[in-house]
Amino acid sequence: MMQHYKKKIIIFSNYDWTIYKFRKNLIKELSSNYEIVIVTKKTEKDYLKDFENEKIYINFNIYNYNIFHNIFLFIKIYFIYKKLKPYFCLHFTNKPNIIGGIVASYYLLIMLIILHGVDQKL
């Protein structure tokens, strides 16, 4: 009997609470047809503890502009994407958009980059 494997979707954000607050319903909807992998930073409250999806917690600071820190983060994301071989990547918030977008482009992955606050008036 041939097994049917679900395609993987990576959702990559700065913090677990942003995924919980803004992407919870999307994840629930997509989970029926896709394997969802969440890549994020874990906060003290652990907002994603009740999610049944695979979670990969990485430790990074969105306010750290140190080149070595960002290169190290890039390498971590590179190996996560290499291991998971996702079908689609959803990036939102600035650092995941930039680093995840570069890595996804390298692997020629389908991706969606969401920019928050672009529609706000100055």
Question: In this predicted structure, what is the pLDDT of residue 118?
Answer: 59
In this structure, the number of other CB atoms found within 10 A of the CB of residue 71 comes to: 11
What are the tens digits of pLDDT across the range 95-122?
A: 889 999 999 999 999 998 888 765 555 5
What are the tens digits of pLDDT across the range 29-57?
A: 999 999 999 999 988 888 998 888 999 99
Q: Please tell me the class of the 7-114 domain.
A: alpha beta
What are the tens digits of pLDDT across the range 12-31?
A: 998 899 899 989 999 999 99
Average pLDDT score, the chain: 88
- List Cα–Cα distances, 62 to 2, 15, 93, 116, in angstroms: 43, 10, 9, 15
